[in-house]
Every structure is written in C-alpha cells, then in structure tokens.
Amino acid sequence: MTILVVGRLEPSLEKQLTAAHTPLRLPAEPERADFLQRHADAITVIVCGGRPGVDAALMEALPRLGAIVNFGAGVDAIDVTAARERGIVVSNTPDVLNDTVADTALGLIFDTLRGFAAADRYVRAGRWAADGPFPYTRDVTGSRIGILGLGRIGAAIATRLAGFDCAIAYHNRREIPGSPYRYAASPVELAASVDVLVVATAGGPDSAHLVDRDVLEALGPQGYLVNIARGSVVDQDALIELLHVGRLAGAGLDVYTGEPDVPAALRELDNVVLLPHMGSATARTRTAMATLAMRNLEEFLTSGQLVTPV
C-alpha cells in the first residue's frame, strides 16, 4: 500500500500523515512522467486537499488506485464521476467544519453590512478626526437572508441568523419537507426577495455560475452577496461589474474564481470584504479535519472502506 500526496497539504494533516507514514509526493512536470513510470504501479491511495486535486488523467495513470482521501468538505477539485467509473472511492471531511464555516459566514454578513473592515481602515487612515463620523451602515438584525444551498453548513448559518430575528429563505434543487424556512423556487426568486444572498452550496460543474448576472441583478442595488462556498458558483465578472456601477450594495467573499488571485477590480472596492478562503481555518477545526482525513486513510489501508465517503 503506497500513499501518494498530491499538492501541498495543510500543516495539521502533513504532521499527522508523516508521523504515521512515509508517503510519496507527486512532482510537477517535467519530473512527473518519470516519477509515474517508476511508482504508478505501487500507488493505491491518494491524499490531497483542495487544488490541484485529482483529474481523470492522473487516475488513469495509477492502475492500482483505490481511494482518494480529501482534506476538506468540498471535493470539486476531484473528478468524482471519473473516480466512480473506475471504482475509486473518495472521502471528504464533512460536519467537523460546519460551525466554523457558519461562524465565518456570520462574520462576513456583519462585516459587509456594517462596514467594519472599511470603518477600521477609516480610523487607521486618520479620517475619523479629519472627515467626521463614518457613514451609516445596514442592520443585520431583522434583515431578510436567502441561503443558496441549505445543506449542513447552510443550516448552521440559518440557525445562527434566527438569533438575529432574520427572515430566512432558501433555495435547493428540491424543497426540504418540514423546513422552518421559506422555500424559493429558483435562485433568481430567492435573490429578488432578500437583502443578503448567502452562497453555501457545493462547488463543481452542477453549480457553476448558479449565481449568474440575472441572480445578481435580482439581488439589486440594496442587496449584498456573501460567498463562503466556492468561487465557481458565482459569475465573478458580472459581480465585479455590478458592484462597480452600484447595482449591488456590497459583497463579502471568502472564495473566488482563480484563487489565490483576487482581481484588483475587487480589491479596490471599499464595500467589499475579502477573506483568503479561511472559512474553516481555526486550529481546532483544521485539526479535526486532519484527524478525520487520517481516519479515512487508516480505514482504507486496513479494511478497504472509508469512514466518510462522498
């Protein structure tokens, strides 16, 4: 059983993995071809986390590959369909990050509507004394919030917002029977009826640009977009354009198209809060994610099964 690490692992996982095993590391081109020639037949399990992930070509090159163990809940960097076709099982790290990511969403909602990051810049630049009070901002309490993707993380966000007397609506592909929240039949319908649209759906081809120009326009000049899911879900070019012309009130983003590059056109806006994809990045949660990834790895090595398959 030979383990292959693809990409750079989180320090928490790197530490746990190397304490127990001596994995191989997939090199970049041009060394990759030679590496695969020497090791491909031995590799049975991949450990990875986020980008670059595992595509069908890499699976094809590893004839004995049986499992892909991913650090992270989202497996959009892995070609899961190709894995399924080849009988390769895939695990992720669900649930252990729900609370932390939901906390991040709340932080972004507050920061975006109340303008705390911009106000902090205002104070630091000496503008309070020079220019007077900071402009009025928007209340979170009592606002109407739409959650796109009421899964485990979306539900944790909704639970928190209930404490702020928010009117919560959601859109999923299917209505959730018995949900206490109002269902909107489409992303446009959801966006048109809320002050804040929170993107909490899984990434990947199925949700690509689910938040397109129409959805953003439906959110409108008084509306805010918050994204803690994946950059791929949002048409980022349309988002930037509408923010620049004042047809959206603001945005709070943890994720982007083309991470870690964040376009200057976003960075120059004061009504936008930008985080470096840190939704789950607390020491406790990242350690729990690493521990769960390791449990999946050990289980696969001993029984051929996974603890949390996708």
| Interacting residues with ligand 8YV (CB under 6 A) | 49-50, 71-74, 97, 277, 279-280
Strands (E), the chain: 2-6, 24-25, 43-48, 67-70, 89-91, 144-148, 167-171, 182-183, 196-199, 224-227, 250-253, 272-274
Active site residue 277: yes
Closest residue to ligand 8YV in the complex (CB): 72
Contacts of 41 (CB under 8 A, 6+ apart): 63, 64
CA 179 – CA 267 distance, rounded (Å):
38
Q: How far is the CB of 71 from ligand 8YV (least distance, A)?
A: 6
Strands (E), 71-166: 89-91, 144-148
Q: How far is the CB of 15 from ligand 8YV (least distance, A)?
A: 15
CA 91 – CA 259 distance, rounded (Å):
23
Q: How far is the CB of 128 from ligand 8YV (least distance, A)?
A: 35
- Closest to ligand 8YV by CB, 9 or 248: 9
- Closest to ligand 8YV by CB, 179 or 282: 282
- Closest to ligand 8YV by CB, 142 or 276: 276
Query: In the numeric block, which tokens belong to residue 277?
Result: 């994809």
Catalytic residue among 138, 182, 247, 277: 277
Amino acid at 274: L
Q: How far is the CB of 221 from ligand 8YV (least distance, A)?
A: 30
Q: Which residues pair with 147 in a beta bridge?
A: 170, 198
- Closest to ligand 8YV by CB, 49 or 250: 49
Active site residue 259: yes
The DSSP result for 222-253, as a single string, is T-EEEE-S-GGGB-HHHHHHHHHTTSS-EEEE
Active site residue 21: no
Catalytic residue annotation: 230, 259, 277
